[in-house]
Amino acid sequence: MHIRTRRISAALIAVATVLVVGLWTMLGGMVIERYVAGHLAIDVPLSQAQGPRPDSYDRVAQPFYVALVGALILAAGCASALAVLIPRWTFRTRTVAYALFLAVLLPASWYNYNQNDTVLPAAYQVGSNLGMIFLGSCVALWLDDLKATAPDTRVLKTLGLVLVLFGAVCVPGLFTLLWVLWRFKVVENPVKLEWSHLTALGGVLSAIIGWLKYRRETRTEATAATPASRIVIPGR
């Protein structure tokens, strides 16, 4: 495909994406309300709720669904336009698309965590977690592959790696593991493990991984900078 054709196609995709997002913004509320009423409603009094949740008493969570779906449509449109503009998708290019979807799922998932899975039920959140773990792992691998020689850039790279591992891999992985154990009745009462426990464990795991990667890079660089010892043969 010629470069001009690719640019026109990407522009058409962008325009179509904007139109779809605008249409969803206007009509999505009605669609979400019907779906929530039949599938996600939690029939408890408002006084017993610990945060915004989709039920007949409180519709504060409805904008969350509209914004989440709209943002996913926008990310999909941007990724499609990028795929048209760049026909050969290297890992670096694909990571840009992964980061777009991660920028949507990450804050949405953490908002739901903070609401104790009352905005999205745990079964729905597990599916989002699996996708987020894949996206976060790809972005973390891309960060790990970046060349950083100066000490300050190496520190920034390590901090970025730790944050991605913490928010998009370790904590969602722990939540998903806990749900699977509960689903198959390996753990009877997972409520005893609170939000702070899992986030603290995820923070420790991501920090350990980041520190090990930092130490490995510094040792590799030090080994490469050390001049090789010369073997002296007597008589020469």
pLDDT, tens digit (0-9, with 9 covering 90-100), for 72-86: 999 999 999 888 888
Tokens of 164: 């991605």
| pTM score, whole prediction | 0.78
pLDDT of residue 111: 85
Q: Is the pLDDT of residue 46 over 50?
A: no
If you average pLDDT over residues 58-69, what whole number do you get?
Answer: 75
Yes or no: say if 213 and 158 are a contact pair by the CB < 8 Å rule: yes
The stretch 32-55 carries a mean pLDDT of: 56
The gap between the terminal CA atoms of the chain, to the nearest Å, is: 64
Q: Tell which residue, 126, 232, 114, 108, has the closest CA to residue 180.
A: 126
- The domains of the chain are located at 1-88, 90-224
Percent of the residues in the chain that have a pLDDT greater than 70, as a whole number: 81
Question: What's the pLDDT at 39?
Answer: 65
Q: Which residues are within 8 A (CB) of 179 and not within 5 positions of it... i.e. 6 or more apart? A: 122, 123, 125, 126, 190
Taking each helix axis from N to C terminus, what angle separates 171-183 and 91-114, rounded to the nearest 10 degrees?
Answer: 60
pLDDT band at residue 43, thresholds of 50, 70 and 90?
low
Which residue, among 142, 144, 159, has the nearest Cα to 102 in the 3D structure?
142
pLDDT for 97: 92
Residue 127 burial class via C-beta count within 10 angstroms: exposed 0-12, middle 13-18, buried 19 and up: exposed
